[in-house]
Amino acid sequence: MDFDSITGQREVIDNLKRSLSEGRVSHAYIFSGPQGIGKKTIARIFAGLLLCDEPHDGATCGRCKPCLLMKNGTNPDYVSISTEGSSIGVDMIRGMQSDAVLRPMYSKRKVYIVEDAVRMTIQAQNCLLKTFEEPPAYVVVILLTTNYENLLETVRSRALHLQFRKYTHEQVMQVLRTRVGGSSHVLELIADYSGGSIGAALELAGSSDFSALRDQLFDLLAGAATGRTKDIFELSAFFENNRENIDVLMNIMLTYYRDLLVAREGGERMLINSDKKDIILNNAQNSRSSRIVESIEAIGTVREALRQNANYQLATDYLLIKLQG
pLDDT tens figures, 253-274:
888 888 898 888 877 778 878 7
Residues 158 and 13 occupy one common structural domain: yes
pLDDT tens figures, 290-320:
888 998 999 989 988 887 778 999 999 999 8
> Among 163, 192, 217, where does a domain finish?
163
Classify 163 as helix, strand or coil. Answer: strand
- Reply yes or no on whether the pLDDT at 112 is more than 90: yes
pLDDT > 70: percent of the chain: 98
From residue 198, how far is each of 143, 180, 305 by CA, in Å? 20, 12, 22
Domain span including residue 299: 207-323
User: Which pLDDT band, with edges at 50, 70 and 90, does 252 fall under?
Assistant: confident
Range 206-231 average pLDDT = 79
Q: What pLDDT is attached to residue 207?
A: 65
Residues 156 and 104 occupy one common structural domain: yes
Mean pLDDT (the chain, rounded):
87
Classify 304 as helix, strand or coil. Answer: helix
Classify 311 as helix, strand or coil. Answer: coil
Q: CA 192 to CA 186: how far, in whole Å?
A: 10
Residues 113 and 219 occupy one common structural domain: no
- Reply yes or no on whether the pLDDT at 203 is more than 90: no
Q: What is the per-residue DSSP string for 207-248? A: -TTHHHHHHHHHHHHHHHTTT-HHHHHHHHHHHHHTGGGHHH
Classify 133 as helix, strand or coil. Answer: helix
Tell me, yes or no, whether 187 lies in a domain: no
Residues 220 and 283 occupy one common structural domain: yes
* CB of 295 closer than 8 Å to CB of 323: yes
Tell me, yes or no, whether 180 lies in a domain: no
Q: CA 124 to CA 94: how far, in whole Å?
A: 8
Closest listed residue to residue 120, CA positions, set 30, 250, 38: 30
